[in-house]
Amino acid sequence: MIEHIKSVFLFLLVASSLLLTYALWTYQPNFDPIEQTDYIDDSKLDGREQSIKEVISPDRIILHDYQLHKQLKSKQEENELYQEILTWQFTSGLRLANSADVIDSYWQLSESADFQYMEILYPVNIPMNLVDQIFTVNVENNRWSNLTFNKVYLQIRESQNNIRVIFTSDQKEQQNVLIGEIHSQSILERVNELMDRQEGIVQLDRYDFGSGVPIYLPSGEKTVTNFTLLPTQIDPILMRNALFRNPSVVRSTSSNPFNESNHYTDGTRALKTYRVLNNKHERMEFINPLSSDLQPLDPIEVIRRSVNLTNDHLGWTNEFNLDAIRQKPLSSVLYRMYFNGYPIYDEMNVTVMEQVWGSNELNKLKRPLFSINNIRNRETVLASGEAVYQTLQNLKNQISLESIEQIRIGYTLTASASDSSEVLTLNPEWYIKLSDSWVPISDYSEQLMNQGVE
């Protein structure tokens, strides 16, 4: 009898255990789901994605038609021409040649009466290994890691029915150039058509300031559009969500030094925003002290990381173009805001997006927290190349003319003096490049030539 009771009890115990196990497996509680903050969606700016090719843009394209030098008047048309050139298929592999032999012969030929070529000028020395990511050329094995280019020559060779393409740099220590060919009758005819063009053209004069690199400036006065802009503010919360690994632990602090308007931190990293342009707009700076390994990186890797990071949060909110690549003291890349085809400058560098990278992660990021949109414009006339040249000659006690690397038009960004207005203005000026930095000529001269005549 006792054994029978034990057996029944054991059966009930096993059965209840099985029922409990089944219940645990199949039970679904009637709890409301815990709300998850969608930080991914809340980290996208109102920008777009860009490729490496799209953020590398030339300053201008010069047409050398025998002894005449000219360029397209319209910046939009010049950009369309550049996009067309990028599609031209190279029909030969690229090969190295001695820089001195090739470039010296170019200068000799350019002084002759039988030489036509196009010249593409970039504002920055671009790693040569990016050639096949920018131009339409097949490259089997890149071995040019130490070479860069900031100029591309496209020489018409009628006798050989082709166009010779040369990638070269102004850097004097660079010993080699890269050469390729384009064999296409239609492209040859297109280049000849550009050389013969008479309308929509700006004539240029060649100047030598002593550096050994010729600089081409317009023969007459240059008409450029002046813009009044209405900025759109970017919420810093979006950048907080994009840059911190775990935005939910980030806190806002109340410190307010040096025009600092916001300060976010997760205890280690920090994102700070600063009031700029008469305290009406903001720029930001993100600092990650954990990226302590700051060994120099390959420039292409820095560009790739910077483009991918900016694409991740749709950070190309205006036109930004590659403006500088630095490996000393840290690996960094700088993109400058452009408008109407010209670069934008200001005293505080608020129109610059700069990224500094460590071996494994981002160390620092700076960028404007506003985008710009045109609300009205008017024409401004800038001084001719000859007037610029004479002004610089008069300033040779202040400026070493041999140190002038290049001259170009840029916009100077200023804020309205009115407390009630948030508008910004873009005023065109002549800028000179000295020691790898762009400076308006008006900084050295009290003449009003660069302010324009309206």
What secondary structure does DSSP assign to 63-99, as a single string? EEETTEEEEES-HHHHHHHHHHHHTPBP-S--EEEEH
In a domain, 60, yes or no: no
Residues 347 and 410 in one domain: no
Among 319, 334, 368, residue at a domain's last position: 368
pLDDT digits (tens, 9 = 90+) for 178-226: 999 999 999 999 999 999 999 999 999 999 998 888 999 999 999 999 9
Q: What is the pLDDT of residue 235?
A: 95
In this predicted structure, the answer to whether residue 449 has a pLDDT above a threshold of 50 is no
Residues 78 and 190 in one domain: yes
What is the tally of structural domains in the chain? 3
Residues 248 and 183 in one domain: no
Among 368, 399, 420, residue at a domain's last position: 368
Residues 321 and 445 in one domain: no
Residues 362 and 403 in one domain: no
Q: What is the pLDDT of residue 108?
A: 53
Percent of the chain with pLDDT over 90: 64
pLDDT digits (tens, 9 = 90+) for 370-420: 999 988 899 999 999 999 999 999 998 888 999 999 999 999 999 987 877
Residues 136 and 105 in one domain: yes
**Cα–Cα separations (whole angstroms), residue 353 to 180, 344, 356:** 34, 12, 10
Confidence of residue 341 (pLDDT cuts 50, 70, 90): very high
Residues 252 and 310 in one domain: yes
CB-facing half-sphere around the CA of 231: CA atoms within 13 A: 25
Burial class (CB in 10 A: 0-12, 13-18, 19+), 149: buried
pLDDT digits (tens, 9 = 90+) for 152-175: 999 998 888 899 999 999 887 888
In a domain, 11, yes or no: no
In a domain, 46, yes or no: no
What lies within 8 Å, CB to CB, of 176 at 6+ separation is 96, 97, 98, 99, 144, 147
Residues 275 and 361 in one domain: yes
What secondary structure does DSSP assign to 367-394, as a single string? EESEEEEEEEEEEEEEPPHHHHHHHHHH
- Region 243-254: mean pLDDT is 89
In this predicted structure, the answer to whether residue 81 has a pLDDT above a threshold of 70 is yes
Bridge-based pairing of strands 281-287 and 437-440 is unpaired
Residues 156 and 98 in one domain: yes
For residue 381, give its domain range: 224-228+374-451
pLDDT digits (tens, 9 = 90+) for 302-315: 999 999 999 999 99
- pTM comes to 0.86
Mean pLDDT score of the chain, rounded to an integer?
86
Among 368, 384, 399, residue at a domain's last position: 368
Residues 184 and 287 in one domain: no
Residues 268 and 332 in one domain: yes
Residues 98 and 120 in one domain: yes
Q: Give the H or E element holding residue 186.
A: helix 185-196
Per-residue burial over 60-73, b = 16 or more CB atoms within 10 Å of its CB, e = otherwise:
bbbbbbeeebbbbe
